[in-house]
Amino acid sequence: MPDYDYSVALAASGIVWTPAALRAWMEDNDGFMPGTRMRHVGITDRTVQDFILAYLAHITTRDGSAITK
Ligand code: HEM
């Protein structure tokens, strides 16, 4: 998200938010990215992860292509 004040750890990570990276984040974000400001949420249920991935895909794409602005 533009203008969001990410933690130094995340900003320096160069992470690409692939579905696998997002699942790893949801399951163990502070283990996956030591130094993040987000508390551990431990979303391990695969179906819940699927819903969140579908939602994120829905809000970040328009007409099949990524929303850049
Ligand atoms: C119960 C669910 C969640 C809670 C309570 C939560 C809470 C938070 C909080 C408190 C922060 C830190 C805000 C700050 O001080 O800057 C944060 C950051 C963040 N959250 Fe979450 N979050 C949740 C779910 C998620 C999910 C599902 C994702 C992605 C799939 C996500 C991605 C992020 C990212 C990328 C950051 C920035 C972290 C950083 O800059 O190090 N969060 N979240």
Give the residue, by CA position, lying nearest to ligand 1 atom 3. Answer: 41
**Ligand 1 close to Cβ of residue 24 (< 6 A):** no
- Residue 69 placed within a domain: no
Per DSSP, the three-state class of 26 is: helix
- Residue 65 placed within a domain: no
- Rounded CA separation 51/35 (Å): 27
What pLDDT score was predicted for residue 50?
Answer: 98
The CA-atom distances, in angstroms, between 10 and each of 7, 32, 33, 43, 51 are: 5, 10, 7, 19, 24
- Rounded CA separation 22/19 (Å): 5
**Ligand 1 close to Cβ of residue 22 (< 6 A):** yes
Q: Which of 11-20, 32-41, 54-63 has the lowest mean pLDDT?
A: 54-63
- Residue 68 placed within a domain: no
Total-model pTM: 0.85
Q: Please state the domain count of the chain.
A: 1
Pull the structure tokens for residue 8: 């130094």
Domain that holds residue 29: 8-58
Ligand 1 centroid to Cα of residue 38, in Å, is 5
